[in-house]
C-alpha cells in the first residue's frame, strides 16, 4: 500500500484496508488481530493531518512541558530515558470512531468496522513522573497535547489535532511518553520518535510526533475538543439529527468490545463438521472485561468463553470457546463482551451521534459447513 499524496511508502502494511489517503487512515481486518501482541505490520493507522518531516536524530527529539507548572521543562528523548523510570505495558489503542460504519443512518467520518484497534507493548516513561518533576501548580487541571504534523491542508501554523485529558488521567501510571513499540524504536508512521499513549480512551488523545504538553487551568479547547469532535450527546438523539444546539460531553473511556479473530468471516468447513473452535479478543476502556459469550443461533443460546487474564491494566483479554454445530449449513457467530459494570454489547448499533463515536455493536462472522450449493 502506498500513500501517494503524502509520498510515504507503506510496505509491510499490505494486509490493512485503506480508508483514506489524505489524511492516511487504514484499519486491520479482524482475522489479522489474532496475536496476543499486535505486530507493527498489523497495527492500524490513524492520522488527522499530513506526515511531518523525519528527524535525523531521534534521541535529540524534544518535548516541552509548560503552562501551570512551577518548572517548565524541555526534555529530549535521551533525557527522558536517563531521568525517569522506564515502563513497559501491553495496552490497547483504539480509534474513537471504531465501529462507525454500523450506525444507521451513516455518520460522518472514516467508515471503520472493528479494525481500528491494536494491542502493542509500549515502552516509555509515565507522563505523571515528568509532570511531578515540572511541579504542578494548584491551578493545574487539564492537559493540551501538540504534535509536529501539519494539518490536512499542509499548514504548519495550525494543529492537525490537539486534544487533552483531565489531570487525573494524565497522572495515571499507564499514561506514557513512548519511544518504543514491541521492543523496537517507535516507527515513524506510529508517531516516532515520541508519542503519548493514553490507554482506554480514544486514540486521538495519544498524540503522535509529540512536541508539547501544555498544562492548563481549564478544559483544553484545541482542535478535536469542541463542537461535535470526540463528543457524545448528553441525551439520546434521533438518528440522523445534525446535533445543532445539543448538549454534549467529551468521549472518555471507550465502551466494551469484542472481536472474533478466528474463524475468519466467510470460512467454509468440511461436510460433517460438528464442532468448531472460536477465539478472539475483548477490552473495556477504563474497566475490566467480566465475560465474553458467543452464539450461533441469533442469541437464543450463549456459550461462555474461557478468558486469559490480561498482563496488566489496559491489556486486552484473549478468549476462546468451542461451539457445537447441529448440522451442515450456514451459521452466523456473534461475540458479546460484558464489562465489570454489567454493560454488554448490543446486536444493533445504539447511541447514534453525528460523528459516529463509540459504536460497540457485536462482531458477526458468517461460516458455512458443507459443500458449496
Report the alpha-carbon distance of residue 66 to residue 18 in Å, rounded.
Answer: 37
Percent of the chain with pLDDT over 70: 97
Do 244 and 262 sit in the same domain of this protein?
A: no
Do 271 and 225 sit in the same domain of this protein?
A: no
Do 273 and 331 sit in the same domain of this protein?
A: yes
Do 244 and 264 sit in the same domain of this protein?
A: no
The total number of structural domains in the chain stands at 2
Q: Which of 250, 280, 312 is the last residue of a domain?
A: 250
Do 354 and 274 sit in the same domain of this protein?
A: yes
Question: Taking all residues of the chain, what is their mean pLDDT, rounded to a whole number?
Answer: 95
For residue range 295-316, what is the model confidence (pLDDT) as tens digits? 999 999 999 999 999 999 999 9
Could you count the other beta carbons within 10 Å of the beta carbon of residue 320?
Answer: 16
Tell whether the model's pLDDT for residue 1 goes beyond 50.
Answer: no
Do 81 and 212 sit in the same domain of this protein?
A: yes
Do 235 and 289 sit in the same domain of this protein?
A: no
Which cell goes with 327? Answer: 448440522
Q: Which of 217, 250, 283 is the last residue of a domain?
A: 250
Do 155 and 41 sit in the same domain of this protein?
A: yes
Tell whether the model's pLDDT for residue 5 goes beyond 80.
Answer: no
Do 222 and 351 sit in the same domain of this protein?
A: no
Q: Is the peptide bond before 11 cis (omega within 30 degrees of 0)?
A: no
Closest to 13 in 3D by CA, of 46, 45, 50, 42: 42
CATH number at residue 327: 2.60.40.650
Tell whether the model's pLDDT for residue 71 goes beyond 50.
Answer: yes
Domain span including residue 237: 2-250
Do 63 and 173 sit in the same domain of this protein?
A: yes
Asked which of 7-21, 178-192, 215-229 is least confident by mean pLDDT, the reply is 7-21
Tell whether the model's pLDDT for residue 118 goes beyond 50.
Answer: yes
Report the alpha-carbon distance of residue 186 to residue 326 in Å, rounded.
Answer: 48
Q: What is the pTM of this model?
A: 0.95
Do 55 and 191 sit in the same domain of this protein?
A: yes
Mean pLDDT of 331-342: 98
Strands 73-76 and 62-67: antiparallel
pLDDT value at position 10? 64
CATH number at residue 54: 3.90.420.10
* Close Cβ partners of 312 (under 8 Å, ≥ 6 residues apart): 89, 90, 91, 174
Q: Which of 218, 250, 282 is the last residue of a domain?
A: 250
Do 149 and 297 sit in the same domain of this protein?
A: no
pLDDT value at position 156? 79
Tell whether the model's pLDDT for residue 51 goes beyond 70.
Answer: yes
Amino acid at each position: 500500500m502506498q500513500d501517494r499524496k503524502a509520498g510515504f511508502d507503506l510496505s509491510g502494511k499490505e494486509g490493512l484496508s485503506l480508508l483514506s489517503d489524505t489524511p492516511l487512515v487504514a484499519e486491520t481486518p479482524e482475522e489479522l488481530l489474532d496475536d496476543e501482541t499486535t505486530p507493527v505490520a498489523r497495527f492500524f493507522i490513524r492520522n488527522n493531518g499530513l506526515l511531518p518531516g523525519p528527524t535525523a536524530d531521534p534521541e535529540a527529539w524534544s518535548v516541552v512541558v509548560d503552562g501551570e507548572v512551577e518548572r517548565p521543562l524541555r526534555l529530549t528523548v535521551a533525557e527522558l530515558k536517563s531521568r525517569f523510570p522506564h515502563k513497559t505495558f501491553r495496552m490497547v489503542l483504539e480509534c474513537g470512531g471504531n465501529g462507525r460504519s454500523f450506525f444507521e443512518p451513516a455518520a460522518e467520518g472514516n467508515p471503520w468496522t472493528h479494525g481500528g484497534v491494536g494491542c502493542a507493548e509500549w515502552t516509555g516513561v509515565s507522563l505523571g513522573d515528568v509532570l511531578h518533576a515540572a511541579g504542578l501548580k494548584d491551578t493545574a487541571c487539564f492537559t493540551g497535547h501538540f504534535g509536529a504534523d501539519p494539518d490536512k491542508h499542509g499548514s504548519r501554523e495550525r494543529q492537525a489535532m490537539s486534544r487533552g485529558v483531565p489531570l487525573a488521567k494524565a497522572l495515571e501510571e499507564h499514561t506514557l511518553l513512548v519511544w518504543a513499540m514491541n521492543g523496537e524504536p517507535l516507527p515513524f508512521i506510529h508517531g516516532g520518535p515520541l508519542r503519548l499513549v493514553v490507554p482506554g480512551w480514544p486514540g486521538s488523545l495519544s498524540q503522535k510526533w509529540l512536541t508539547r504538553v501544555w498544562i492548563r487551568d481549564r478544559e483544553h479547547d484545541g482542535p478535536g475538543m469542541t463542537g461535535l469532535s470526540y463528543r457524545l450527546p448528553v441525551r439520546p438523539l434521533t438518528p440522523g439529527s445534525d446535533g445543532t444546539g445539543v448538549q454534549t460531553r467529551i468521549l472518555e473511556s471507550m465502551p466494551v468490545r469484542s472481536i472474533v479473530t478466528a474463524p475468519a468471516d466467510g470460512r467454509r468447513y468440511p461436510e460433517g463438521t460438528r464442532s468448531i473452535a472460536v477465539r478472539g479478543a475483548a477490552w473495556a476502556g477504563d474497566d475490566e472485561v467480566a465475560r465474553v459469550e458467543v452464539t450461533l443461533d441469533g442469541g437464543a443460546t450463549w456459550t461462555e468463553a474461557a478468558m486469559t487474564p490480561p498482563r496488566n491494566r489496559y491489556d486486552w483479554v484473549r478468549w476462546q470457546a468451542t461451539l457445537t454445530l447441529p448440522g451442515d449449513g450456514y451459521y452466523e457467530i456473534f461475540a458479546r463482551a460484558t464489562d465489570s459494570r454489567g454493560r454488554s454489547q448490543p446486536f444493533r448499533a445504539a447511541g447514534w451521534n453525528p460523528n459516529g463515536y463509540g459504536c460497540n455493536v457485536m462482531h458477526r462472522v458468517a461460516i458455512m459447513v458443507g459443500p458449496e450449493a
